[in-house]
Structure 1
Amino acid sequence: MINAFQNHISQQLPFLQTKKLIVAVSGGIDSMVLLELCQQLDWSIAVAHCNFSLRGLESDEDEIFVRDYCQERKIPFFLNRFNTAEFAEQIGMSIQMTARQLRYDWFETLRVREGYDYILTAHQADDVAETFLINLTRGTGWDGLTGIPQQNGVVVRPLLPFSRKEIENYAAEYLISWREDSSNAENYYQRNALRHEVLPVLKDMNPLFLANFQKTLLYLQETKNLADWAVAQFLEKALRQHGNEFHLDLYQLNAMPAPRAILYYWLKSYGFTAWDDIYHLPEAESGKQIFAPDFVLLKNRTHLILYARHEVRQEVFTIEKTNLSVNFPIKLEFCSTSDISSDDANTIFVDADLLDYPLTLRTWQEGDQFHPFGMNGSKKLSKYFKDEKYSLTAKERQWLLCSGNKIVWVIGKRADDRFKITNNTKTKLKITFSE
């Protein structure tokens, strides 16, 4: 398995080999095998362990097991204990979903605080199949049928091509110890019932079930990509921005073969949940509204109109030379420095003498251009947004730091080459964005 794992990394995830990585380790067989593989490849790693305090002494023994393992091998170890059940009750969410939220929120906080690049989790091929079946029983669309992504931002899952059986065989061959979660044996949880009762039947029916299933997911993902592209092309023609509103032409929408899919694609990132109401909105009376926490969708006579419920931000904010930090509408910090070694996308270094004050902080305007760092010449910001696959909402919410009529930074994304540090720079300014 080590050779197959190394080949998979070389072909699909080569960037991991030179990065600082946090490995999420529960103590179970999957995460212990992943941890062993990372050591075999001599990666720069630390271990993060969550004690969710759900299984009493057993949870504490898992914590001790992982901590002692790391201490013996001098692997940096990070721990967080959660009162998961109490927090789940407070927010009205299931314990499993609460644990997931707590886990990933902490992983990201830890990654940023400690200066790591990626978070590795030990999801494998059987997990993907279980998740697919869970979503299938609940009713789902493309997003639920295309499986667990190999990479989601800074979260990477390098074991996805490998089955539970392959992982068990590797653990047995290399005498890897692990902790068995007693709750995994209980069919009370839907995932466990699928794991113990459904997947074995499917594998007995066809020993190549997992391999064929992964092929199916690939085909589904490719079809989803095609559908997403087609919807994006349609929205490019039928959706127009008027000030802070977006207007979707109903005549063009109704002429499409799958208007519901288009509405879902357009609105899924805005926080709407009343999908049946949204799907019937094109036929509703003019003036009917559907609400999300931050947005309103209005049926007008010939259009659906999307707008923010509370428009609070101004268009332009000024930053004086004396300002060392800005807290609204976003957080920026400014300081002189001699160290320009950071490769964080939320930090840039500029030649301070090239800046004209006051600086301005604003959203994009039609016709904006900048000189992307590392490139010759200028590029329209609208073309940059298109190349980077910005949604209309993302474009609206993208902040720009400007000096006069020049863009210094597409904040959090790309600096402007005209303000870069050179051998002639006398004063180096560090600018940091905090989300």
Structure 2
Amino acid sequence: MTPAARISAAIEVLQDIIERRRPAADSLKDWGLSRRFAGSKDRAAIASLVYDALRRKASSAHAMASETPRALVLGMLAGLRGMAVSEIEALCSGENHAPAPLSEDETALLTVFSSDDAPGHVQADVPEWLWPSFEAAFGEAAVAEGQALAARAPVDLRVNRLKASRDAVLEDLSHLQPEQGPWSPDALRFQPGHDGRGPSLQTEPGFFAGAFEIQDEGSQLVTLLAGAKPGETVIDLCAGAGGKTLALAALMSNRGSLYATDLDSRRLAPLHDRVARSGAGIVEVRIPRSRGHEPFADIAGQADLVLVDAPCTGSGTWRRNPDAKWRVRPGALAERIKDQAEVLARAAKLVKPGGRIAYITCSVLPEENDEAIRAFLARHPGFAPVAPVDVLKGAESDFSLLARFATEFGLQLSPRRTGTDGFYLACLRRGD
């Protein structure tokens, strides 16, 4: 496919996403299945165009005075990819599956392309109904924080301490030009290419050998700061596919007891193979038999640490899932807040006196972070928050610079602040 034909395809996929309110991945998959002539490079390029257009959906619509898929793609080419009007005109010839030629209005708008006069939520590419939450979280920096969440994300990996060192993995992957992560002692980073994609790390021999896992550095950081220690009893209450479970096993040096579960047992399916590959011998996966079943009833009140990677809106991962921010609705936020309260209540029953809960979200919304902790403390007077500065002091490395990002109860990471996804961590200690 020509570059122009790829742009036409991206417009077509965006039409499906917007009209049917579908996840981008589903629309892209269906498009590829019905267009067998498109090779893997074509599909990758089209996906990159679609995701980039979704990153800048609001600002492009404002600058182009239109919300049509065509306007969003044209605006993205100018605003995100920095293409000159002449370059865009050359792609829009109307020939050989290329988009139709630019209209006079489109040419004029692209020539003066800007969203600087737009409202804050438009400049930030944040849904309007969430803008008050963004301003509450970030104040005067809210626009800049939203813009950082609309940028492309790097690919991070976590070196598995149980099988390798960072220096060894750095050397093994030198052909891919990795960088050391700025925060986590186990992180390596790969910057996105021109098309927004990173290297295919899951085809590397080191991945199959369990030397590393793909994991955002923010996810690594909050897991490390949760403070799991060798010999402890630790429960990962919302383990999902197990990224944090495997990180916990490495931080515990494979000593102690580490339990993993998830209310949705289907999400646990990949964890078994990942555990085997990683060499994490202390992990026990427990599958809930039903919605109300507590798989840890036999060890209630005995855990040194319960890690709650709570279900949330995922607003901190919008760099990786730009379509998700346009699909989330107020009802979904309310449902997630309810889920967070329920899982924290479960954790409270499992932790022992003197033990702690590490509450984590991949969100930047105060309703899911500090406000969730405030509500929990009001319902559970036997718990007290651990001051963020004390959380940092207890870490194995010097993370004192992160104290700048303390909230009332926890720490808020973000792409603009830390170069990571938007993660939140608060630690709570149960009284003796």
Name the TM-score class by shorter chain: under 0.3
Query: Which structure would you say has the larger Rg?
Result: 1
State TM-score, norm by structure 2. Answer: 0.26
Higher relative contact order (CA 8 A, sep 6+): 2
